[in-house]
Amino acid sequence: MRLRRMPRQFDREAGRRHSESSEATLAAYEAAAPALCAQYEAAAEPALAGLYSRWIAPGSAVLELGCGSGRDARWLAARGARVLATDGSSAMLQAAEALAKSERSLSQNRLRFRSLPLPPSSIERAALAEQLGISSDAPAFQSILAVALLQHLDDDALYRTALLIDVLSSDDTTLIASIPIDHPGASSDPYGRRYFSRAADAYVALFERLGFEEVHRESTARAGIKGRECVWTTFVMVKRSARGAARTNITGLLESDQKTATYKFALLRALCDVNIASPGRARYIGSASGVGHEAVAIPFSLVVERVIEYYWSIARMRSTSAGREPPRQISGGRPLAFEASLRALMTAYMGDWHALRRDFYAGKFAESLDAEKAALLTTLADDVAKTLRKGPVYYSGNSLGDTALEGTHNRLFAVTGFNTKKTALTPSGMAERYGELTLPAALWRELNVCAPFAADAVLLRWAQRAKRMSDLAGIGYTLGEIVDGMLPASSERDVKIARDVYFEGIRTQETRCVWTGGRLTKTFAVDHLLPWSRTHSNDLWNLVPASVLANQKKSDLLPSVRLMDRSASRIISAWRLIDRSKYRLLFRAQAESALLSRALPETHWETPLFDTVLRTTDEVARQFAASRWDGLTAGIDRRLPL
């Protein structure tokens, strides 16, 4: 550790006292500079020369913290890097500059030395730039080195040093840090330096919170001076501010913006649900799309459909809550913007959401079998789409600063291709009518990791907001009642449709257990390929025949890729039974809407559908970090670890 001696007094700018451990370590480097420099210079080249060659390109601007004798800095400068080497010890800096004077790298102005005590007294860029002799508006460093340094910092000093690294870096800045994992500590150090023992993951976790992503890690065998042997771990991290911003946005959207309505919660919950259940519907459109950064587009109709379902479930609570009004969704006693159209369609379907969804996906509206209900659905979907566009799509993210889309009033979201002149009587028609919702690709990628947990958080926050507004209106609900009413309910009717089709297949000996291949009897089970608890999908493509034992053993587990491959022919055979039944249009429309960005072909549709389902199953399992089920052998349950 290279720290400049500072008086033991209160530092007004930093607002803290420098610790005794920092002073002791500084004193050690000052006193032992000649011996330590000789020790460092004994090696012909840096121990991390291979990593430097891989991660630091010639011409890169490099900041080294705690440069010591300057050995690594000289090596990098000699290979074309522009290095600013810093240290807090004046004795170490003087020795480093003396060693560098005779080398060409210094004369070519590729190597400079500056004093930089750690922890820094300020983490403001302007103050740091002045201290380092660089322009305050100079580009950030492309690489930052902290080799054999961080282990000397106590927790407070380490955090302030991490903030310094954050301030002096930008997107794609590479941080290379090397620390001893099991160093015996100060008791065995002949120079009196202090050490703080931490696991490598403790350092990685700290920098991850600042937007860095670990991309490489390696450890040495136990090595060092006799009696002080230890394992050195080196990790390479790359600054990914977009990913950090995505995490901030997910949380920030729950905390920021107006809190007078629940539409924002509905939008975020829908994004989570689409991400989990329909990952294949995301379209990465890149920065060339005109939104100013990498973006993802999803069918806005998938969001609209889910939002209708959410508020439908809440409105149904009137019929199950002893005549009470449903939980309030807008403050001040105001109705939902689509209250009237929602009530009208609910009345037409007697509150049965699943019946509406079956009619819509089965193409009944397109066949003009019920023009009145079709008109009611179109009106409601239009009202919901317009409410989302004018509300959370437009306003969400306004308070989150430079993480949002450029040129769109700091908006995270935008809707493109919205055209109510197009028909909305089928799932594909609705997708064309409402266009696409675009959002930052980094936010979508973050949802790829955290959507299951974010969905739960959104649901709870939504229920808490609804309870507060209901309490103010004198409508008494417990939080549990509201959460329970907002959870999706499975439809036994949908399961019965699949059961009826497969029962006919049993009579003709075409239906077998998809997991074992065994013959089925009339007591067979209908199993969800993707468990209901994960995706809330009762779509016909997700319902397959299985033995009662296999269904019980599989339970809420997801099948392994190996099991899916072994069962492919039986799964496809089950689908063919449905495709030949009167539910063909329903089956195809559900598969196309949830899984595919295109229509199923009339023939040879089985393989592309199976491949998409296999991929979706695997992605859902990884997203939930779920154990996998590998099937049954002679009645033995086989499970794979996470």
Of the candidates 377, 384, 375, 325, the one whose C-alpha atom is nearest the C-alpha of residue 353 is 377
Instruction: Say if residues 142 and 148 touch (Cβ distance below 8 Å).
Output: no
pLDDT, averaged across the chain: 86
30: its two tokens:
């000052």
Position 535 confidence tier, pLDDT thresholds 50, 70, 90: very high
Residue 446 is predicted with a pLDDT of 83
Residue type, 162: A
465/332: higher pLDDT = 465
Check whether 4 has a pLDDT greater than 50: no
Check whether 157 has a pLDDT greater than 70: yes
Position 390 confidence tier, pLDDT thresholds 50, 70, 90: very high
Cis? peptide before 119, omega within 30° of 0: yes
Check whether 231 has a pLDDT greater than 90: no
Q: Please state the rounded mean pLDDT for residues 143-157.
A: 92
Residue 20 is predicted with a pLDDT of 63
DSSP-derived secondary structure for 284-337: E--GGGTTSS-EEEEEHHHHHHHHHHHHHHHHGGGTTTTTPPPPP-BGGGPPPT
Instruction: Say if residues 76 and 56 touch (Cβ distance below 8 Å).
Output: yes
390/323: higher pLDDT = 390
Q: Which residues are within 8 A (CB) of 113 and not within 5 positions of it... i.e. 6 or more apart?
A: 67, 70, 84, 85, 86, 87, 93, 96, 97, 100
Within 60-154, where are the H helices? 71-78, 90-100, 104-107, 125-132
Q: What percent of the chain has pLDDT over 90?
A: 59
Q: Which residues are within 8 A (CB) of 376 and not within 5 positions of it... i.e. 6 or more apart?
A: 341, 344, 345, 348
402/354: higher pLDDT = 354
Check whether 9 has a pLDDT greater than 50: no
Residue 466 is predicted with a pLDDT of 94
Residue 75 is predicted with a pLDDT of 94
Question: What pLDDT, in 10s, does the model give residues 55-112?
Answer: 999 999 999 999 999 999 999 999 999 999 999 999 999 999 999 987 765 556 789 9
Position 246 confidence tier, pLDDT thresholds 50, 70, 90: low
Residue 259 is predicted with a pLDDT of 65
Question: What pLDDT, in 10s, does the model give residues 275-316?
Answer: 999 998 999 886 644 445 678 999 999 999 999 999 999 999
Check whether 402 has a pLDDT greater than 70: no
Q: Which residues are within 8 A (CB) of 350 and not within 5 positions of it... i.e. 6 or more apart?
A: none
- State the Cα–Cα distance between residues 97 and 339, nearest whole angstrom: 75
Residue type, 487: L
- State the Cα–Cα distance between residues 350 and 641, nearest whole angstrom: 45
Q: List the domains of the chain with CATH numbers.
A: 20-239 (3.40.50.150), 245-486 (no CATH), 492-640 (no CATH)
Q: Please state the rounded mean pLDDT for residues 569-576.
A: 96
Cα 199–204–206 angle (5° rounding)? 100
